[in-house]
Amino acid sequence: MTKPLLEVQDLEVTFATDEGFVRAVDGVSFTVMPEQTLGVVGESGSGKSVTFLAIMGLLDRGNVRVSGRVLFKGTDLLALSEKEWRAYRAERIGMIFQDSLTGLNPVQRVGNQIAEVEIAHRSGTVDASRPWVRHKKAKGNAVELLRSVGVADPESRARQWPHQFSGGMRQRAMIAMAMSLGPELLIADEPTTALDVTVQAQILELIDDLKRRCGSAVVLITHDLGVVAEHCHDVMVMYAGKSVESGESDEIFARLGHPYTRALLRSMGRLDQPKPRRLETIGGQPPSLARLPTGCAFHPRCPFAMPICRVEPPPLQGTVQGHHFTCHVAGGVAKESDPSVSSVTISMPSSSGDVIESSAETILMKARGLTKYFSVRQGGLKKSATLRAVDGIDLDVRRGRNLGTRGRVGLREIFIGSSAHATPRTDGRIARIQWCGHSRERSSGVKARTSRDTNGLSGSLRIPKSSKDGRLNYCGTLKSSQCASQA
Amino acid sequence: MSDLEGMSQNIRESQLPGESDGSFNMSAESVFPLNTSEHEPEFSSNKSLSGRQVAWRRFKSHRLAMISLIFLVLLVIVVSFANLIAPYGYQVQNLHQLLKGPSLAHWMGTDNLGRDEFSRLLYAGRISLLVGLTVSLSSGIIGTLVGAIAGYYGRWIDNLLMRVTDLFLTVPLLVVLIIGSTLLSGGVLGIIIILSLFFWMYAARIVRGVFMSLKEQEFVESARSIGSSHLRIIVLQILPNAFGPILVCMTLGVAQAILTESSLSFLGFGIQPPTPSWGNMLNDAQDYFQSAPWLLLAPGIAILLTVLAVNFVGDGLRDALDPMQTPHRLKSQVPEAMAEIEGGYDEATA
Amino acid sequence: MLRLIGKRLLFSIPVILIASGVVFVVVHRVVNPTAYLALNPRSSAANTQRLTAALGLNKPLLEQYFVWLRHFFVGDWGTSLISGQAVARSVGTALVNSLILGGTALVIALVIGMAVGTISAYRQYSAFDNMATGMAFLGLSIPTAFLGLLLQLLFGVYLVQHLHLNGPLLYISGMSDPGSTSFSFSSLLRHLALPAFVVAVQILGVYSRYTRSSMLDVLKTDYIRTAKSKGLSSTRILFRHGLRNSMIPLTTQVALDAGVLVGGLIVTEQVFQWPGMGTYFITAMNNGDYPQILAWLMVTVTAVILFNLLADILYAFLDPRIRYV
C-alpha cells in the first residue's frame, strides 16, 4: 500500500468573530494519495476552503486558531515555522484560487508574476550565476509555462497585465504559477466556478493533463458533483465544518451513504433520465456556524431525520473499505440506482442563449425575435462595437413548466425589462420564469457594460408592458444560493 | 489645520484608496457594510443581532471613542447653558483687570480689554460648535443629493457632477472662503453658508460610491421590475445603505468645519468681533502671546480637545460600522480565549 | 499613453481660460481698488475718479477682461497699486518661497508618513500602531495657528530665556535675517524649520493614516494571498506587492496636494511671517490691490490645474489598468 502524500488528522479551525468563536472546521480528517485527485464537495460555508487555507498556513494568525495534525509526507505542517512553511509553498504544495482576476497582482505583468515563484525559491541554490541571468532564465521559463498551459502567443502575453487576459486565460496563468516548480500536490479551490461553462471543461482538462505530466496529486474543491464525477478518484463531502462522507468517487455515487450526498446527487438534473416532475432541492439553508443545530448538523434539512439525530452527533459508519460517512441511519440511505457515472456530465451550450425545454401546454408567454444588443465602447478613438448578446430568439413559456436557459448574459436583461431592443409579447396572467445566468467572460480589450450575474438567480417577475400593467401578478423574489446545473 | 486647505484633509479618514481621477469609483462595500440583512439567506437558528446592536457594541468597545463622546456631550451641555454658567458676559470689560493671569475671579484670566476669558470661551464655544454642526449637516445633505443623483443615473450626469465635484475639491479652500466671506460680510449665517458650499464634496463622493456599487445589484433590479419609481428605489432601497458612511463623513466633517472656521476667523475673515469664536480669540491672543500666554492656550486647547474628540468619535463610528474588522477587544483576548474553548465549545451547542 | 497626456494638456487650456474669466469677474466684484483711497481723508473724490480712469475701471467689464488677458499672456502683469512694483516679479518671488516651504514639508511628511503607515499596517493594533494613530489624530486635530503660536512662544521666548541664548535656536519669523545681504543656507534652514514642521505635522498624520488604510486593504486582497501561497518572503510581499499597490492612490493624492499647496499655507505663513504666497494674498486682499490679487489667483488656479493633470498622468503611469484599457 502506498503511503499517503497528505494526511490530515482532526483538523480544527476556529475564528474569533463578533458573534463569538466560530468553528469553521470541526475535526476533519482525510488523506490524499500521490497522483490521485481528491474532490472536496460542499456548499458555501461548509468549511472546504478554510480547511485548505489552514493547511497552507494562509490564515491570518491573529484571530484564527488551528489545531490538529497535517502530515505532508510525514512532516507536520502545522508545527512548522513561517520560514519553513514557505519552503513548502509552491515548491511542494501549490494552490490556485477561485477568482483569478483579484488573485493576480493588477500592476504586475503576468510573466513576472509567474517568474517570481522561481526567482524567490531558487535564489539561494547551486545556480550561482548573476541575479539578472537567473531572472532572465526565470522569465523565459515563465513563457514556456504559459505555453504549456495552453496560452497562445505566450511571449507577448507574458508581458501583458492580468486585466488584459480573459477569465480562462487568467486561470491558466494561475495554474502555471502554482505548477511552475512542479509541486507534488496541487490544491485547486473552486478553479472553475467563476468561469463560463465552456471554459470550465478546458481548465479541468488542463489540470488533469498537468497532473499526469508532473505526477502531482490534486485536491479539487468544488460544489459541483458533476466535476467530481468526471475528474476525481476520491471524494470528501463536507457540511457545516465536518466531513460527512468520504471514499472513492465510484462508491460514493453508487452506494449507500449520507443523506446530504444523496440530496446533492438528486438535485442535479440528468440528461439521460426521463425528466422528473420537479427538480429536487435541499430545503432550508446551510446553518450559521455560530449557531449550529444540536446533534447532527444536517438534521433540520434531512428527509430521513429521526429523533436521535437531534440529540446525538452521528457515529462514523463504514461500508466498503474506505467509504465512510457519519449518520444515524444504519446502513446509510440509497443513492441513485443508476451507477453509470458519466451520464452526470453537463452538456455544453452553444454560443448565445439556448432554449432547452418545451412541451405542449398552455402558453403563458410567447416571445418572438428577442434581441439584446450591447453597445460596447472600445478604448481610444475606435467606434463602439455592437455585441449581439441575444440575436433573435423565440421563447415559449408554458403554464406550470419551468424553462431553463443557459448561456451568456443578455437574456436576463430582457426579462428585467431594461432592454432597449426587445419587446416580448405577453399573453396570459402569471408568468413564472426560472433561469440560471452565468457570468460572462471578458474577452481582452473589450469592456462590456453588462451587469454581473451571480450564479443561479431565480426569480418570479412580472413582465410589464408598462409599469402599471395590472394584468400580471408579482410573485415575489426568491433567491437560491446554488443553481443546480440542469436541463 | 485647515490652513492646508483642500490638502490631504481632502482624503478624510472615511475615504479609501480608490482611483483618484475624474471617474471616481470606490467600492463602498469594501469600506462600509451594507444593510442587506433583509436579503441574507436565513440561517436555520436565527436570532443574529441586528446591525445596529452589533454596531453599538463595537462602538462601546472603542474606549477612546466612548470617552470622547461623553466629553462632547458634556461640552455641548455646558456651552448651551453658557449664559447660566459663565460668570460674566462676553462683552463685559473690567478695565482694572487688563491682561491678568488666571485667578480665582477669572479662571482663565482676562484679555486686553479686561474681558473674562473663561466666559468668552464658553460663548465662543457656542458659535464654533454651532458652525461646525450646521455646516456638517447642510453640506452632508447637499453632498448626499449630488452623490445619489450622480451615482444612480450614471453616464453623463455622473460625469458632469463629478467634474463639478472635482472642481470644488481642487480649489484652495481658505482662498475661496476668504473671498466668499468678503462677498457675504461675515455674519454667522454667512459663514455657515459659505462653508457649506465647500464641504459637500466629501459626502458626495462617498454616497456616489455606494450608489454605484449597489445600483446593479439584484434587489434594485427586483424593485425596478415591480415598477418602483426611481425615487422610491433611491430613497428606500439604496440610501439606507449609505447612512453609515454618511454619518461617519458628517462626524468628521464637524471636526473639519470647526478647524476651518477657526482658521478663517484667525485670519480675520470669519466671525467678526464682537461675536466671539474660538478662532478670533486666537487672533486676539496673537498680539499678546508673549505677555499673556493664557489667552493663547484657552481657545487653542479648547479647539484641540473638541476636534480630537470628534475625530475619535468618527473613528469609532467607522470601526463600528465596518464588518470586516475584528473588534479590538476580541482581538487582544483571542489567544487566551481560544485556549479556553477547547472542550468547552460542545456544551454551548447542546 | 502619450496621447492621454496630450489630450489632457489640450483640455487644460480652455479650463484655464474659463478659470481666468471666473477669477476676473469674482475679483472685480469683491475687490474695490479705490477703497483705500476713499479711506484716506485727504484724498478727494477727484482722486478716486482719476484712479478709476487710470485703471480703466469705467470701461465695460468684458473689455477690461480682454485688456487684462492680453497683457497677462504676454507677461505684463501690471504693477502693484500700493508699492508700484511689478507684480510678476513679486508674485514670482512669493511663489518660490512658498514652494520651498511647502516642498520641504511635503517631502518630510511623505517619507515619514509612508514609513509609519506601512509599519502600522503590518503590525496592526500593536503599540507602535496605536501610538502612531494617536499622534496622527493629534496632528489632524490641532489648529494650525495654535501650533504655530505655541512654537513661537517656546522657541522665541521660553528657550531663549531659560537657556540664556543670544538669539533663538530656530527662528520664529520671516525667511532670513533682516539686514543680512548674503545668502546663508544654515540661516535659511533655521528659519524654515519651524514653519515646515507645523505644516508637516498636519499632513504627516493624514499620509500615515492613508498609507495605513491603503496598505491594510491591499494586505487583505486575494493577490496577496496568492503571493503568500507562492511562498514569497514577507519582505518581498510587503514591498513588491503591498507597497507598490498601495502607493498608487497616495502618490496621486500627493500630486493633488502639491497643487493646493501653492496657495495653501496662508495661516502658517501669516503666523511665521514667511514671505510666501499666503502672506502675499492676505496683504493684497487687505489693500485691495487689484492687479496683485488677479495675478495671484491666476497663478494659484493654474498651479492647481497643472498639478491635477500631473496627478492624472501619474496615476495612469502607475496603474496599467488605466494605461491599457
pLDDT in tens, A136-168: 888 999 999 999 998 889 999 999 999 999 888
Does the CB of B183 have a partner CB in chain C at under 8 Å? Answer: yes
Residue B20, number of CB atoms within 10 A of its CB: 26
pLDDT in tens, C211-260: 988 898 898 888 999 999 988 888 888 888 888 888 888 888 888 888 88
A–C CB contacts, 8 A cutoff, strictly below: 85
Residue with cell 452506494: A255
Does the CB of A145 have a partner CB in chain C at under 8 Å? Answer: no
Are the beta carbons of B164 and B201 closer than 8 angstroms?
no
More confident: A391 or C5: C5
- Amino acid (one-letter) located at C259: G
**Closest-CA distance of chain B to residue C248, Å:** 8
Question: How does strand A37-41 pair with strand A217-222?
Answer: parallel
Q: In chain A, which residues have their Cβ closer than 8 Å to the Cβ of C225?
A: 58, 97, 103
Q: Which residue of C has its CA nearest to A55?
A: C229
Q: Mean pLDDT over residues C303-316, rounded?
A: 85
- The residues with which A20 forms a beta bridge, in sequence order, are A17
Pick among A17, A63, A66, A411 to test the B interface (most B CBs inside 10 A): A63
Collapse the DSSP code of A330 into the 3-class scheme (helix H, G, I; strand E, B; otherwise coil) and give the result: coil
pLDDT of residue B292: 82
As a whole number of angstroms, the distance between CA B294 and CA C47 comes to 47
> Is the CB of C281 less than 8 angstroms away from the CB of B282?
no
Which of A314-323, B80-89, B340-349, C227-236 is predicted most confidently?
A: C227-236
**Closest-CA distance of chain A to residue B43, Å:** 5
ipTM metric: 0.82
Q: What is the phi/psi pair of residue B183, to 5°?
A: -65, -40
pLDDT tier at C317, thresholds 50, 70, 90:
confident
Q: Which residue of A has its CA nearest to C246?
A: A107
Q: Which residue of B has its CA nearest to A463?
A: B225
Does the CB of C208 have a partner CB in chain B at under 8 Å? Answer: no
As a whole number of angstroms, the distance between CA A145 and CA A114 comes to 8
As a whole number of angstroms, the distance between CA C175 and CA C94 comes to 11
| Cβ contacts of A186 within 8 Å, gap of 6 or more | A93, A94, A95, A96, A178, A179, A207, A210, A211, A216, A217, A218, A219
Element (H, E) at A61: none
Across A28-42, A115-129, B141-155, C97-111, least confident range: A115-129
**Per 3-state DSSP, what percentage of chain C is helix, strand, and coil (rounded to 5)?**
80, 0, 20
* C2-318 under CATH 3.40.50.300, yes or no: no
pLDDT of residue C187: 80
Name the DSSP letter for residue B198: T
As a whole number of angstroms, the distance between CA C270 and CA C174 comes to 10
Q: Mean pLDDT over residues B279-296, rounded?
A: 86
Res B145 pLDDT > 80:
yes
pLDDT tier at C133, thresholds 50, 70, 90:
confident
Res B257 pLDDT > 90:
yes
pLDDT of residue B346: 36
As a whole number of angstroms, the distance between CA A21 and CA C127 comes to 25
**Closest-CA distance of chain B to residue A462, Å:** 7
How many degrees, rounded to 5, is the angle at CA B213 between CA B207 and CA B219? 110
Res C146 pLDDT > 90:
yes
Q: Which residue of A has its CA nearest to C219?
A: A60
Are the beta carbons of A248 and A214 closer than 8 angstroms?
no
> Is the CB of B338 less than 8 angstroms away from the CB of A21?
yes
| Cβ contacts of A32 within 8 Å, gap of 6 or more | A4, A5, A6, A7, A38, A185, A217, A219, A234
Hey, which chains touch A, using 3+ CB pairs under 8 Å? B, C
Query: Which of C150, C203, C110 lies closest to B1, judged by CA?
Result: C203
> Is the CB of B20 less than 8 angstroms away from the CB of C315?
yes
Domain ranges of chain C: 2-318
Q: What residues of chain A, 376 to 435, have a C-beta less than 8 Å from chain B?
A: 416-418
pLDDT of residue A220: 93
Using alpha carbons, list the distances in angstroms from residue B213 to A232, B12, B109, B250. Answer: 38, 20, 55, 21
Does the pTM surpass 0.80? The reply is no
| Cβ contacts of B302 within 8 Å, gap of 6 or more | B121, B124, B125, B278
- Amino acid (one-letter) located at A272: D
As a whole number of angstroms, the distance between CA B242 and CA C6 comes to 38
As a whole number of angstroms, the distance between CA B106 and CA B100 comes to 8
Using alpha carbons, list the distances in angstroms from residue A360 to A276, A366, A400, A462. Answer: 16, 13, 12, 23
Element (H, E) at A26: strand A20-32
> Is the CB of B8 less than 8 angstroms away from the CB of C263?
no
| Cβ contacts of A371 within 8 Å, gap of 6 or more | A388, A390, A391, A392, A421, A422
> Is the CB of B17 less than 8 angstroms away from the CB of C248?
yes
pLDDT tier at A342, thresholds 50, 70, 90:
very low
More confident: A10 or A280: A10
Name the DSSP letter for residue A390: E
Burial (CB count <10 Å: 0-12, 13-18, 19+), residue C99? middle
How many degrees, rounded to 5, is the angle at CA A104 between CA A99 and CA A107? 140
C-alpha grid cell for residue C233? 518572503
Residue with cell 457594510: B33
- Amino acid (one-letter) located at C162: H
Using alpha carbons, list the distances in angstroms from residue A324 to A219, A238, C262. Answer: 18, 12, 73
Q: Which residue of A has its CA nearest to C248?
A: A107
C-alpha grid cell for residue B268? 480675520
Are the beta carbons of B51 and B35 closer than 8 angstroms?
yes
Q: Which residue of C has its CA nearest to A57?
A: C229
Query: Which of A229, A214, A213, A333 lies closest to A272, judged by CA?
Result: A229
List strands edge to edge, sheet with A20-32: A20-32, A6-17, A64-72, A75-76
Across A395-409, C191-205, C282-296, least confident range: A395-409
Q: Mean pLDDT over residues C69-86, rounded?
A: 77
Query: Which of A451, A408, A412 lies closest to A433, judged by CA?
Result: A412
Question: How does strand A324-326 pair with strand A93-96?
Answer: unpaired
Res B73 pLDDT > 90:
yes
Point out the residue among A62, A300, A457 whose CB comes nearest to the CB of B44.
Answer: A300
What b-and-e string marks burial along C100-130, b requiring 16 or more CB atoms within 10 Å of the CB? Answer: bbbebbbebbbeebbebbbbbbbebeeeebe
pLDDT tier at B334, thresholds 50, 70, 90:
very low
As a whole number of angstroms, the distance between CA B337 and CA B329 comes to 11
C-alpha grid cell for residue C164? 540664556
